[in-house]
Amino acid sequence: MVNKTPQVLTIAGMDSSGGAGVSADLKTFAAQGVYGANVIVALTAQNTMGVQQVSMTSPSMIHAQLKSVVDDLKISAVKSGMLGDVPTVEAVAEFLQQADFGDYILDPVMVAKGGAHLLSDEAIVAIKSSLIPLATLITPNMPEAEVLSGSNITNHEDVMQSASKIQQLGVENVLLKGGHASGKDVYDYILLADGSHFWLKSSRVDTIRTHGTGDTISAAITARLALGDDMKKAIIYAKAYVDATIREGIDVGHGHGPLNHQARVADRHFPEVLENV
């Protein structure tokens, strides 16, 4: 039987230090037990201390990679991460409009942990007009949500309003990640397609080893959707997974170190689900 194994795709950039981007996605896919394919839109010379150089893939090569994948594999969910510039966003949008890759998880990566910009201002406009309407789920962190919604976030009420504005841009579901806020607990907010919403609360791990947390949670959601979870279950499980990868950390590099993608999810890693708050 051809293509029985669950397969997912990441469209993103390579991080030479292996902690973020495509590397984080593939490690996450493997940990969830799905097969991962990858379309590389950029190379970054990067480590745990910052991004030293970026080289973009040509749109024709992006198209060729996507075609090679669609011509042979059976992708049941796709995620995008770092997209960099307008030609890349346009190449990806054009392909996603025609290809059937199943659920599309859009992680609107804008800035790396060390502060390097991974998306041009013009490309933010292109993502809003061409990619957001195609997405099943978008997973902005707080600064990305502020840019996409055009509103400041200082409290939980602002988070909910920002997510609602982003949903109005045409995406079905919104996960607004709370890693960038301060406080002893971390709150992620989820607004689902049917208008229902909830918070995921977990205790903050006091560490700077959080390189690739955003890539990892969106990749884990992509994998869980391909395995048949509904959106709510996929997000809760993915949150438990990323929590385990941070909590059971490894010691790599001098700066924002990578996660332990081999960490196993245990009951103690599951977040508190706060409904109707």
Ligand X SMILES: Nc1ncnc2c1ncn2[C@@H]1O[C@H](COP(=O)(O)OP(=O)(O)OP(=O)(O)O)[C@@H](O)[C@H]1O
Ligand Y SMILES: Cc1ncc(CO)c(N)n1
Which positions lie near ligand Y, rule CB under 6 A?
Answer: 12-13, 15, 20-21, 44, 46, 81-82, 109, 112, 212, 214-215
| C-beta of 103 vs 188, nearer to ligand X | 188
Q: With binding defined as CB under 6 A, does residue 114 bind ligand X?
A: no
| C-beta of 177 vs 224, nearer to ligand X | 177
Report the distance separating Cα 47 and Cα 26, nearest Å: 18
DSSP E strand boundaries for the chain: 7-15, 35-47, 50-56, 75-80, 103-106, 137-138, 173-176, 185-191, 197-203, 272-275
**CB–CB of 127/88 below 8 Å?**
no
Q: Which residue's Cβ has the minimum distance to ligand X?
A: 214
* Interactions with ligand X, residue window 217-276 (CB under 6 A): 217, 239, 242-243, 246
Report the distance separating Cα 116 and Cα 114, nearest Å: 6
Report the distance separating Cα 62 and Cα 88, nearest Å: 8
The neighbour count for residue 111, using CB atoms within 10 Å, is 15
Among ligand X, ligand Y, none, residue 15 binds (CB under 5-8 Å by kind): ligand Y
Q: Which of 78, 105, 126, 186 binds ligand X (CB under 6 A)?
A: 186
Q: Which of 10, 48, 57, 210 binds ligand X (CB under 6 A)?
A: 210
Q: Which of 25, 85, 103, 215 binds ligand X (CB under 6 A)?
A: 215
Phi/psi at 167 (5° precision): -60, -35
Q: Which of 13, 18, 84, 178 binds ligand X (CB under 6 A)?
A: 178
Report the distance separating Cα 273 and Cα 57, nearest Å: 40
Among ligand X, ligand Y, none, residue 64 binds (CB under 5-8 Å by kind): none
How many binding residues for ligand X (CB under 6 A)?
A: 24
Minimum distance between the CB of residue 105 and ligand X, rounded to whole angstroms? 13
Give the three-class secondary structure for 42: strand
| C-beta of 86 vs 246, nearer to ligand X | 246
C-alpha pair distances (Å), 7 with each of 2, 248, 267: 12, 27, 27
**CB–CB of 83/41 below 8 Å?**
yes
Task: Give the position of tokens 């789920």.
Answer: 137
Q: With binding defined as CB under 6 A, does residue 204 bind ligand X?
A: yes
| C-beta of 108 vs 271, nearer to ligand Y | 108
Among ligand X, ligand Y, none, residue 44 binds (CB under 5-8 Å by kind): ligand Y
Nearest CA to 144 among 170, 105, 118? 118
Amino acid, res. 31: A
| C-beta of 51 vs 192, nearer to ligand Y | 51
Report the distance separating Cα 78 and Cα 186, nearest Å: 27
Q: With binding defined as CB under 6 A, does residue 177 bind ligand X?
A: yes
Sites of contact with ligand X (CB under 6 A): 20, 113, 141, 177-180, 186, 188, 202, 204-205, 207, 210-215, 217, 239, 242-243, 246
